[in-house]
Amino acid sequence: MARYDIAIIGTGPAGVSAAITSVIRNKSVLLLGSADLSAKLKKAHEIRNYPGFAAVSGETLGAAFAEHLSSMGIEITEDKITSVYAMGDYFALQASSGLMYEAAAVILATGVIAGKPLEGEEELLGRGVSYCATCDAPLYRGKEVTVIGYSPKEEKEAAFLSEVTAKVTYIPMYKEEPQLPGSVVIVKDRAMGIGIQDGRRVVKTAGEPIVTDGVFVLRESVSAGQLVPGLATDGTHVLVDLQMKTNIEGCFACGDIAGRPYQYVKAAGQGNVAALSAVDYLDAKKRN
Amino acid sequence: MVRKISQEEFKDVLASKVALVDFSAVWCGPCKMVAPVIEALSDELDGQVDFFNVDVDDCPEIAAEYAIMSIPALILFKDGKSVDMKVGFRPQAELAAWIKGELN
């Protein structure tokens, strides 16, 4: 597979701006995200502080971004990145399509991912709490597991677990009726936290606690720290310096994920800085 | 160099002064990704730390003894005792800083 110079995750103002500057600086770019640009951008009623546009709707600005990208021949790859691995001199990006992309530098422009972790979730990660059914299911062969699913998309992971483990309890954190194999026990309750009880794990709910051997917490979008293992965050935002550098060499962040204020013009500006920093990083690497 | 060991050879971990054991499996994606990172780390810390790889499917008793519930699991051993664990993929710089901190 071709190794790109810069992979940019996110197609909001930060990601689009980063892609434009990277291409101007003659770098090969992999721009990943939704092709209809930022869904959030579309929702914006009116933006009044974006220079050049006295008053512009999010939809109009989004269309202008799309036109700008296409005029430069920049394509958007519609694939969801689930993990970014810092391999040392390059990054490997695992996508939900099953493809693995490679890039010498990475710019995170994913926007802020809402949703707080459950009580005990982070403390017990890897100690009876897992985010990856396909990774860890075989470790629970013959045991009982509980799946906390945040969207109907996670049901196929639960179905997979039911083929491997002795028992699966499924807690849907959404309104739709789950479609699962008959062997899966569905508990329509709200998961509140995860704890330890007599060497086993316990899922605290509004009602009866569920005692289990392992807990799989499956969300559609993962936090930045989960997306890029080893990335320093304050929980919500990635820690960056004024050059948009993160603690991982070659990895940069911009836009809402890099902190407040959540403004389009700030995101676009940071995207530009992140791209220029990535270019500097690549050039310095080439010299060595 | 990372040495892949069997259940019987695990005594070498316990006999080592400082050892890092990578618990993994062939079917686990993040394990595959962290393997070259551990290999590079073993070069960086050559002579200071012994590196081992344990396949949890081949060594179920050891995996159970150390309560491996998520892989890759990286356990640091000092004088045969497990002192700390990291779970999941980690960049080389983070692992190097972690182990060096434990060496002092």
Question: Could you tell me the fold of the domain covering B2-87?
Answer: Glutaredoxin (3.40.30)
Residue A39 has pLDDT above 80, yes or no: no
Residue A135 has pLDDT above 90, yes or no: no
Chain A nearest-CA residue for B29: A135
For position A203, what pLDDT does the model report?
97
For position A160, what pLDDT does the model report?
94
Q: pLDDT tens across A84-97, in order?
A: 999 999 999 998 88
Q: Which of A138-152, A221-235, B48-62, B73-87 has the lowest mean pLDDT?
A: A221-235
Q: Which of A285, A281, A274 is nearest to A107 (CA)?
A: A274
For position A38, what pLDDT does the model report?
58
Find the mean pLDDT for residues A116-125: 87
Q: pLDDT tens across B21-79, in order?
A: 999 999 888 999 999 999 999 999 999 999 999 999 999 999 999 999 889 999 999 99
For position A122, what pLDDT does the model report?
82
User: What's at A55, amino acid-wise?
Assistant: A
Domain ranges of chain B: 2-87
Q: Residue A112 contacts by C-beta under 8 Å, 6 or more apart in sequence?
A: A236, A237, A256, A257, A262
Q: Number of CB pairs < 8 Å for A and B?
A: 72
CA-based nearest distance A49→chain B, Å: 40
Residue B25 near chain A (CB below 8 Å): yes
Chain A nearest-CA residue for B70: A126
Q: Residue A174 contacts by C-beta under 8 Å, 6 or more apart in sequence?
A: A149, A150, A151, A152
- A138/B57 Cβ within 8 A: yes
Find the mean pLDDT for residues A263-283: 97
Q: What is the DSSP secondary-structure string of B20-81?
A: EEEEE-TT-HHHHHHHHHHHHHHHHTTTT-EEEEEETTT-HHHHHHTT--SSSEEEEEETTE
For position A190, what pLDDT does the model report?
94
Residues of B known to be catalytic? 28, 31
Q: pLDDT tens across A65-74, in order?
A: 999 999 999 9
Q: Residue A178 contacts by C-beta under 8 Å, 6 or more apart in sequence?
A: A149, A152, A155, A158, A170, A172, A184, A186
For position A133, what pLDDT does the model report?
86
- A136/B69 Cβ within 8 A: yes
For position A103, what pLDDT does the model report?
98
Residue A278 CA, chain-centre distance (Å), reads 20
For position A14, what pLDDT does the model report?
97
For position B78, what pLDDT does the model report?
97
Q: pLDDT tens across A179-206, in order?
A: 999 999 999 999 999 999 888 999 999 9
For position A40, what pLDDT does the model report?
65
Tell me which residue in B36, B71, B94 faces A87 most closely, judged by beta carbons: B36
Residue A245 has pLDDT above 70, yes or no: yes
Between helix B92-103 and helix B29-44 the angle, nearest 10°, is 50
For position B104, what pLDDT does the model report?
75
Distance set, CA A239 to CA A230, A235, A253 (Å) = 12, 10, 8
Chain A positions contacting chain B at CB under 8 Å are: 83, 85-88, 92, 94, 125-130, 132, 134-136, 138-139, 214, 229-230, 248-249
Q: pLDDT tens across A248-257, in order?
A: 999 999 999 9
Residue A11 has pLDDT above 90, yes or no: yes
